Amino acid sequence: MSRKGNCYDNAITETFFKTLKVELVYRENFKTRAEAKLAIFVY
């Protein structure tokens, strides 16, 4: 990655995971971990 203190080095990854959580994870109540994994894989 880049040097220490560079706040933009993983901004794309953080944006993806934020979007994933808002659009999928926070809207669903998963009964099992396997069900959550499958939903995330399909997403």
Neighbours of 36 (CB within 10 A): 15
Given a contact cutoff of 8 angstroms between Cβ atoms, the answer to whether 26 and 11 are in contact is no
Place of tokens 């080095």: 9
Sign (positive or negative) of CA dihedral 12, 13, 18, 24: positive
Which pLDDT does position 2 carry in this prediction? 61
Q: pLDDT tens digit string along 11-31?
A: 788 899 999 999 999 999 999
Residue 22's pLDDT is what?
A: 95
Structure tokens at 31: 């009964």
pLDDT confidence of residue 1 = 53
pTM over 0.75: no
Average pLDDT value for the chain: 87
Domain ranges for the chain, please list them. 11-42
